[in-house]
Structure 1
Amino acid sequence: MTSPLRILLIDDNRSDRTLVLRELEREFDPLDVQEITSSGELNQAIAAGNFDAVVTDFQLRWSTGLDVLEMVKQRHPNCPVVMFTNTGTEEVAVEAMKLGLDDYIVKGPNRYIRVPIALRMAIERREMQQRAALLEIRLRGLLNRVKIGIFRFDAEGALIEANRAFLELLGAQSLAQASTMNWFDMRDCYRQLMHLPPPQQQEQEVNLQRSDGTEFWALLTTTLNTVEEVTVVDGLLEDISDRKQAEVDLQQLNTTLEIRVQERTIELQAANQDLEEFAYSVSHDLQAPLRAIQGFAQILLEDLSETLDASSSATLQRIVANAQHLNTLITDLLTYSRLRRAEIHSEPVSLSSVLDNVMAQLNSDIQQQQAQVHIDEPLPIVQANRLILTQVLSNLLFNAVKFVAEGVQPQVRIWAEERVEAGEPSTVRLYIEDNGIGIALDRHEQIFSPFTRLHGEADYPGTGIGLAIVRKGVERMGGQVGVESEPGQGSRFWVELPGVREP
C-alpha cells in the first residue's frame, strides 16, 4: 500500500485553505494534510517532522512566510516548500528563493490549481536531486576504492580534483600538496591536447617521482573535455611498475637465451661439420678395400669357374653382388653428404637439355625395361644448378622405370607448367608421371627420408637414399618436391624450381 503524501498547509484564511485542500485532494491520493493556524501548531509540527512538503501563505497573523520557510529549512533542508500568497512582493519572492523556496504563486481565483502542480514538480525535483546526490556519493566511493588515479586540471595546470588513489600514487596527503609537486607538466599537456584532432586524447608511459623521492612507472591517459562550458583535462594514472619490471626481466632473459642459442648453434654447427667430415672420410676410405673385395671375388669367379661347385660359385656371386650394393650405398652417401655441404651456384638451365643428358645416362636401363618415355616439349628454363638437377631428374626417372609391377611395360610422361601468383616470383613445376606400383598416402613424406625402403631388396634392389638425395638437392636449389600417388595407380612426382623469364 502506498504511503500518503504528508503536507503542512499553513494559512490563517479558512477559505483559502479549503480551496487549496480541494485541489490537493484532486492531485494526490492518498493524502494526509495537517492544517496549521497558529505558531504553536507550527512549532509542534516542525519538531515532530511528520511531513513531506509545505504549502504556506506569506502574510500570517503570528509570522511571515519567510520565517516559516527559514524554520523549515533549518530542521529539514531538503523539504519542498511552495509559497501561495497575495500579499508578497517581488523582493519577497527573490528573498524566499534565496532561502530555498521551490515555487512562488500569487493567489487568484484561477491560481489554486497551480499549487498541487508546483508541489508535485518540487517533490520530483527534490527526489531527482537526492538520487543524483546518492549516485555521486556512490561514484566517489567507487573512485576512491579503485587503484587507478583519477584527476582533473585546468588550462593553467592547476589541479581541480582527484581521487584517493591519485594522492596515494604520488604519496601526497592532500590535493593542495599534490598541486605543489612538480610531478608532471600539466600546462604543456593541455597545449598539446588543444592541437590534437578529436578525440583529443593522449596515452603515454612516464616515469614519475613520489613526494618521498622514489620513482615509479605509470600509464598516463589524458583527455580534453568541456565541463559546464569550461575546458579541462581529465586524467587517469595507473601504476605499471610491475609490468615494466617484467618487460625488463623478459628482455634480459631473451638476451641471455639468444646468447645461449648462438653458442649452442655454433657448437652444433661445429659438431655437424665434424660429423659430416667423419662420414665423408669413412665413406671415402671404405671404397678402397671394398673395390679390392669386389675385384678379388671377380677374379676367383673367372679363374676358378670350372673347378668350383654350384654352391661355391653362388657364394662368390653373392659376395660380388653385396660388394656392388655396398659400393652403391657408399656412393649415394657421399653424394648426399656433398649436397649438404657444397656451396650451390645457380644459373639459368634448360630442362630440355638436362633431360636429354639424363635419357642418355639411363639409356641401358630404359632399354632393359623396354620402357616408353614421352617428354612434352618444349620445356621452360629454370634457375638451378645443372649437376644437381641432373642427379635429381636421373633418380626420379630411374625410379619411374624401376618400380613397376612384374610384366608391366613402364610408361613415363614428363611435362612442365609455369606457375604465376600475384606478387610472387614465377616458378616452374616439372612432373614425372609413371604407371608403377604406387605409394600409400601415409608414406608420401617418409619416402624422402634417408634409408627409407617400402619394399624388400629381392623385389626392388636399392639403397633407400635416392629420394633423400632428390629432396636435399631440390631444397639446396631453393625449390620444392612432392608426390601424388595411390597404391596400384602409379605415381606423379613433381619438382618446383624458380623460373627464368626469357629475354
Structure 2
Amino acid sequence: MAQQTSDSTSTKQALQHCQEQFQRSIIDAPIPMMLHAEDGEVLQISHAWTEITGYSLDEIPTIADWTEKAYGARKHQICRQIDQLYELEERVEEGEFYIQTHSGEVRVWDFYSSPLGNLPDGRRLVNSSAVDITKQKQAEVQLHQTAIDCQTQIANLEQANADLEAFSYTVAHDLSAPLRGIQGFTQALLQDDASQPLEREYLNRIATTADRMDSLICDLLILSRISRLSLGIKPINLDQIVDEVLENLANTLDPEQIEVMKPLGIVWGSRSLLVQIISNLLTNALKFVLPQKVPHIRLWAEETSSTESIRLWVEDNGIGIASEDQVRIFDCFERLHGSDFYAGTGLGLAIVRRAIDRLGGRVGVESHPGNGSQFWVELPQFIDLSEGVESRETSRANPVD
C-alpha cells in the first residue's frame, strides 16, 4: 500500500511538472497564444499576446471578456465561432481577424487553433495561436493604393498625350493654309522682274523660312497621324517596301549611292508605317554627310538569335554620332547640328521611333564620330508554315552568326 501511495504521488508530481512546463511553453511562446476551455475560462496567454494587445490574463480571464474588449459589437459572432472550436479533432486555420488593442489600435491577426483533449474535470481544451500580420496588410493596402495611383497617373498622361497630339494636329493643320498663301505670294513676287535686289533677297529669305515651316508642319502631321492611324498588321515583304521607297526617292538618291542586299525577309507590320520608317532612315543617311563626300548607303537584314525577329540595318558613311547622343536623337525636335549646316525639322528619327513603337518593334543605332552610322530597326518575323523548310531557308533574311 505504501508503495502504491508513493507511486501515485510520483505520478501526480510528474503530471504537475508536465503541466507547469506546458504552461511555461505557452507563456514564453514567441507569438500570441491562448489556452482556453469550453466553459469560456482563459487558462493562460503568452507574453507576446499581452505585449501586442496590452491585456494581461487578469484583464481577460474569460473568452467573453476577451471578445468584449477586442471585437466590440462583433463579440457575439466571434463567440459563436470560438464555441465551434471545442468540436475540433485537428488543427485548423481560422483566418484573418481585426482586433482592437488596449490602446485602441487595430491589429490584424491570422488565427490557428488546435484541440488539446480534456482537462481532468472533463472540460475540452483548445490552444489558439495567432500571427500578427498587421504590417503585411498595411503594405498590401499601400501597394494596392500605389497601383491605383499609378494607373490614374498613366491614364492622365495618356489623356494629356492624346490632347497634346490633337492640339498639335489641329495647330499644324490650321497653319498649313496661311503658309500656302505666304509661299504663293512670295513666289509671285520673286517672278516679278521689277523687284529690286534687296527685295529679292528678303523674299528669298521668306521663301526659305516658309519652306522650313512647311516641312515642320508636314512632320508634325505625320507624327500625329502615326498615333491615330488604325493599323492593319499583316505580313509585309521588306524587298517590296524598299523598292517602293527607292522609287519615291529617285530624284534625291542615285542608284549607285545605295547597296541593297536582298532578300530582306518578311515581317509583321503596316505597309504605310514601314514606308515611312525606311524613307526617314534613308533620307537621314543622305543628309548627314560631309559636303565633299559622296553618300554611300548599305541596307541589309538579318535574323535575331531567337529567329523570331528580323533586324533591318541602314549603314551610311556620314559624320557619325557620339555615344552620349545616341539615345536623345530619337526625341522630338532633337538636333545635334544647326539648320545652317544640315537641314531638317528634328522630327525624322522621332517619327521612326513612334512608328516602330506602334508596330511593337525596337530601334537603335551604332556609331562613332567620323565613321558613319548603322541604324537598325527590329520587327517580328513572319514565317509561312505552309511552305517547306527548304523554301523558307532560301527566302528568309541572312541569319546572325
Scaled by the length of structure 1, the TM-score of the pair is 0.58
Higher relative contact order (CA 8 A, sep 6+): 2
CA deviation profile, 1:264-285 (whole Å, cap 9, x unmatched) = 7777666554543332232122
1:386-465 pair list within 5 angstroms: 386-419=271-304, 421=306, 426-465=308-347
Read off the aligned partner of 1:353 and give its amino acid letter.
Q
* AA aligned opposite 1:350: N
In the other structure, the counterpart of 2:182 is 293
Match of 1:278 among 148, 154, 167: 167
Please state how far the C-alpha of 1:319 moved relative to its aligned partner.
1.9
1:330 and 2:210 are equivalent in the alignment: no
Rg larger in structure: 1
Asked if 1:173 corresponds to 2:173, the answer is no
Decide whether the 8 Å contact of 1:284 with 1:334 is kept in 2. yes
* Gap change, CA 1:431 and 1:260, over 3 Å in 2: closer
CA contact (8 A) 1:403 1:436 kept: yes
1:352 to 225, 239, 243: 239
Distance 2:83 2:220 in 1: 71
Deviations along 1:392-418, one digit per CA (max 9) or x if unpaired, are 100001111221223222222111122
Secondary structure of 1:468's counterpart equals helix
Q: 1:151 aligns with which of 17, 22, 35?
A: 35
Q: Tell me which residue corresponds to 2:383.
A: 501
**2:108 is the alignment partner of 1:237:** no
Aligned equivalents of 2:346, 2:369: Cα separation in 1:
19
Q: TM-score, normalised by structure 2?
A: 0.71
1:222: how far off?
4.2
**What is the aligned partner in structure 1 of residue 389 from structure 2?**
none
Which residue identity does 2:110 align to in structure 1? L
| Distance of 2:219 and 2:344 partners within structure 1 | 10
Q: Give the alignment partner of residue 186 of structure 1, picking from 55, 66, 85.
A: 85
Provide closer, same or farther for how the CA distance between residues 161 and 267 of structure 1 changes in structure 2, counting only shifts above 3 A.
closer
Of 246, 251, 271, the match for 1:364: 251
Tell me, yes or no, if the aligned pair for 1:216 and 1:239 is still in contact at 8 Å.
no
Check if 1:205 corresponds to 2:95.
yes
- The one-letter amino acid paired with 2:236 is V
Unaligned runs of 5+ in 2: 67-78, 101-105, 118-123, 387-401
Taking the aligned partners of 1:282 and 1:99, their CA distance within structure 2 comes to 102
Partner-residue secondary structure (3-state), 1:289: helix
Picking from 466, 469, 481, the partner of 2:351 is: 469
Deviations 1:149-170 (A, max 9, x none): 24388xxx89999423579699
The CA deviation at 1:137 is 6.9
Distance across 2 between alignment mates of 1:216 and 1:274: 46
Say whether 1:140 aligns with 2:24.
yes
Aligned length: 352
- On the 8 A contact 1:221/1:236 being kept in 2, the answer is yes
Where does the alignment leave 5 or more consecutive residues of structure 1 unmatched? 1-90, 102-128, 194-200, 227-231
Equivalent in 214, 219, 239 of residue 110 of structure 2? 219
C-alpha change, 1:453 and 1:361, in structure 2 (3 Å) is same
Deviation by residue 1:201-227 (Cα, 9 ceiling, x = unmatched): 6444155999xxxx996422346899x
Q: 1:360 to 1:135 in 2, by over 3 A?
A: same
Identity %: 33
Rounded to whole Å, the distance in 1 between the matches of 2:174 and 2:107 is 69
The residue type equivalent to 1:439 in the other structure is I
Q: Give the AA of the match of 1:437.
A: I
Alignment deviations for residues 331-389 of structure 1 (CA, whole Å, 9 cap, x no partner) = 1111111112222221211100000011111122223xx86211111111111111111
CA distance in 2, matches of 1:240, 1:493: 57
Between the aligned partners of 1:324 and 1:432, the Cα distance in structure 2 is 28
Amino acid at match of 2:207: V
User: What is the letter of the counterpart of residue 185 of structure 1?
Assistant: Q
Structure 1 residues 426 and 235, CA gap change in structure 2 (3 angstroms):
farther
Query: Once superposed, what is the RMSD of the aligned Cα atoms?
Result: 4.6
The 8 Å contact of residues 479 and 495 in structure 1, kept in 2 or not, is answered as yes
Structure 2 counterpart of 1:304: 193
2:32/2:45 contact within 8 Å kept: no
Distance in 1, matches of 2:259 and 2:161, equals: 42
The offset of 1:174, in angstroms, is: 5.5
